[in-house]
Each structure stands twice: as C-alpha cells, then as structure tokens.
Structure 1
Amino acid sequence: MKTTEQTTQTPKSKRIGSFNQRRAEIVIAALFLVTAAASIPGAFVLDSILNASNYLAQVFPNKGVVELGSLIWSINNIGIVFIAVFAFGLLRKLDEALAVGYLASRIIEGTIMMIGIASTLLLIPLSQEFLKSGAPQGSWFLTIGDVLKQAKFLGLTGLSLPMLGLGGLLFTWMLFRFRLVPRVISVVGLIGYAAVLFGSIVGWFGLIDVAPGGNGTIFALPVATFEIVLLPFWLLFRGFKIPEALERTAAK
C-alpha cells in the first residue's frame, strides 16, 4: 500500500510542478509586455509637460495628465518587481545567489523609480502655489521645482537604468549559462543590458542624453528587442528548459 501511494503521488507532484512553472512563465512574459506598454507612454506623457520651459505653470492645470503618467509609470515599477518574484522560484533551483541578486536589484530599481514618481507628484502642489503667487520668475518655487525635476530624472532614469542593466545581466547570464532559452535570445539580452549599464554610467558624465527621446535611446534598442519581442513570445509558446538544466547541474 505504501509503495502504491508513493507511485501515485510522484507523477502528481511532477504535474503540479510543471503547471506552476508554466504559470510562472506566462506571468513573466505578460509582465514584460505590460511593463513595456506602461513605461514607454508613461515617459512621454510626463516629459511632454515637464520638459516645457514654463513647466511649473503647466503642471497644476494639467494635473490629470501628470497623475495619469505617474500611474502608468507605477504599473511599470510594480511589474518589474513581480517579474523577478515569479522568476525567483525557477531560478533559485539553478543558482540561488544569482537569483537573489536579480530579485534584489529589481526591488531596488522599483523603489528608486517610485521615489521618482513621488517627486513628480510633489510638483502638482508646488505648481498650484506657484500659480497662486502670480508665477513669480526667479523665485524659490522654480528652485524647488528644478530640484524635484532632477529627482524625477534620477529616479526614473539616471539611477534606475544602472540597476536595470545590472539586474538584467544577472538574469540573462543565468539564461545563457543554463541554456534556459536559445542562446541567440540570451545573447541579445546580455548585449542589451550591458549597453544599458554602460550607457547609463556614461550619461552621468553628460556625454550622452539617456532621457527618453535623447541620443542615448539607441543603447536601449537591444533590451527593447529582448524584453518586448524575443523573451516574452518564447516564454508564451515554449517556456524555460528548467528540467534539462537541473539534470545537467545535478550531473556535475
């Protein structure tokens, strides 16, 4: 009787594990697409107002647009963390240290970007008081506004992009090392995240403009190809090769 119980439970456990893995792959693929669909329009919605020369006079009258852009960006910020959460359950079976590093980097990235969102929303009451005061030029309102704008830039771009590059390198290195996806996909990811990391650091020195629409956007093209096209669609239709990778690891 004991032998029969173990025999019936073992296949059942494998089916449950396979279902959980497939569910995680679909969720990860969907989140990559959702975060891309949120971050790109969110950036341009906010920048269309905040990049204007008289931005402080425009923020409060267009607070609905600013709030919408902030909401869309927040969806991206939350989504990237959950990508790592769902991937962690799969990746930790292969290399727990790298899996923890990837999860930690995405949590830090998401937190930094939420600080950028908070700075953006603080511009709304500042703009309201600025307009109530008659929009005085050369006032402390403009000084505080410029500081909040810089905090927004650092949170959504300047400081978050290096974390994106670092975390992405950990993730794609695991994809490459354990052959979880075809090598061409993981190589595109490795190149893309390395370009983002390099480009964002170069941007600190003002050599390129890493803001959306700037000349540094070219560094994001390989990552966009990886996150929007290659990886999500591979995960949706094929998935990770987790069992084979685990067998190779155990054999070593």
Structure 2
Amino acid sequence: MARALPRPRPPFAAVRRWYEDELGWPTTGTEPVELLTGPRFDVLEMPADAGRAVLRRMPRTGPVALLRPERGGKPAGDRPKLLMLIAAGGAEELPEILEWLEWGTLAADLTARGAGGRMPAPAIPAEHRASGGCGTREAAGWVRPPQPGYEVEDFLPATGFGAGIGDGGGVPDLVRLVSTAATECHRARLVRARNGQSDRACGAQPLAFSNASRMSAGTRPRSLTL
C-alpha cells in the first residue's frame, strides 16, 4: 500500500515559524505573514532615500527593513520605504518629539507604526534559511537583520536620559534618531522637488517657507542643535 508523502511546508509557514519560534515576535498568522507592532517593538517609517542617509549618519541602530513598492499585492506607495525598529511605545511619542524638535508638520514623511499596527514580515536572512528555504515573495527585506538569541529590546532606540548611549547595543537614543530622520526626510523631499519628481506629500505648500529657508536664515530648528 502506497504511503502518502508529507506535504512540503509552504514558504509562509516557514517565515511565520522563524519569527515566532526563533525571535519570539508575534505575527498575524496570515499569508503573507505580517509582524505585529507594539508588543516587542514599534517602527519608524520613512522614504528609503532619507533612510539611507540616516544609516550613513548613524551606522549603529536596531534592525532595519526595506519595504518595496508594489510587491506582494499590497502597494507600499510610489517609493520604497525604510522601516527602523524602535522600542515599544516610541510610536506614541513621535508627535510630541517632533513638536519639541520644532519640526511640526514639516517632517510629514516620517511616520510610525505602534500598538495595534503591523508591518510586512521581511524575507528570512539567507544565513538563517533552511536548505531550499522560503521564496522571495515577501514585500520587505532586511537591511540590518535581527539576530536570533538576542533580546530585541536591548538593541532598539528608546527615550530617557542616556538611553541607547554607551550600552551594549550602541544604538542612538530615540530623540536623536528622530532628529536625524526628520532632517533627512525634509532634505530628501527638497531634493525630489528640485529634481521635479512627484511628491504628493508636498501638496501646494511653497518650499520657500520650509526649514531649509530657516536654516539659511540662521533660525535653525532645535533638532539641528542636538
């Protein structure tokens, strides 16, 4: 009597198992797999061009993922986005931090996902894939992947005096990260406008009254003095 062969594990199941079992991160349990933000971490989201500039200025951060547009059936917008993991609760603090830094609505491209939110689960890093492992259908990929066996909280920017400075992770504190991200988001927005690229977020607001003009006039926002 012929024996029934076991059905191969579908790629999405392997992705879910890696995040839940290896990292201890809760997922939606759906296909494509999504990670729940809030329980273990929050996420700062920004255009990829601005995010790359942030990574050059801050070479040591927590895990970072790249969200590609028009992938997995769920459009991410006209441009790729960079998702930077931060300590849980940081998303709720973002508006207040931006106000304190005197950015107001000028850093409109900088947003956050926190409690009750989710993000696409990036493809499992190649070094952690099983032989013949998962496919590449995921809408996101790791730029700086997490490391199994390490508590993610130890490597994420958090608020508080001296948070993230001089500790084992060496990550920047959240206020300094937001300051850098807001600056680079606005700078990238000005570059796109100068190059004539589409940017719906700009709306009809004249860029002459942006923080760029304030910097040239010598009235720098607080974020540039940190």
Q: What's the TM-score, normalizing by structure 2?
A: 0.28
Larger Rg: 1
Higher-strand-fraction structure: 2
Q: Whose RCO is larger (CA < 8 A, sep 6+)? A: 2
Q: What's the TM-score, normalizing by structure 1?
A: 0.25
